[in-house]
């Protein structure tokens, strides 16, 4: 399972709000909604977020292995 929990920590650490991502950086509210609900986003959006936040992919997304 993909989790975007690290994204929220990174936002807080960087002092950037979701409002700023939407208004100042062109990230759609739909993308923010998808992140909040651990839904898929494109690698292009992931790249955009890494650029905006000046961070690594693992600062945004984490893979959590499903227990069988």
In the 3-class helix/strand/coil scheme, how is 7-57 assigned residue by residue?
A: HHHHHHHHCCCHHHHHHHHCCCHHHHHHHHCCCCCCHHHHHHHHHHHCCCH
- This prediction's pTM: 0.90
With a pLDDT cut of 90, the percent of the chain lying above it is 94
CATH dotted code for 2-63: 1.10.260
Contact 40, 2 (CB under 8 A): yes
In this predicted model, what pLDDT tens digit does every residue of 14-55 receive, in sequence order? Answer: 999 999 999 999 999 999 999 999 999 999 999 999 999 999
Burial degree of 30 (CB within 10 A; 0-12, 13-18, 19+): exposed
Cα 7 to its chain centre, rounded Å, is: 4
């Amino acid at each position: 399972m993909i989790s975007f929990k690290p994204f929220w920590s990174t936002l807080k650490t960087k002092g950037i709000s979701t409002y700023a991502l939407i208004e100042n950086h062109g990230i759609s509210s739909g993308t923010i909604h998808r992140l909040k609900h651990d839904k898929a986003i494109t690698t292009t959006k992931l790249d955009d977020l890494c650029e905006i936040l000046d961070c690594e992919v693992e600062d945004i997304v984490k893979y959590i292995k499903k227990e069988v």
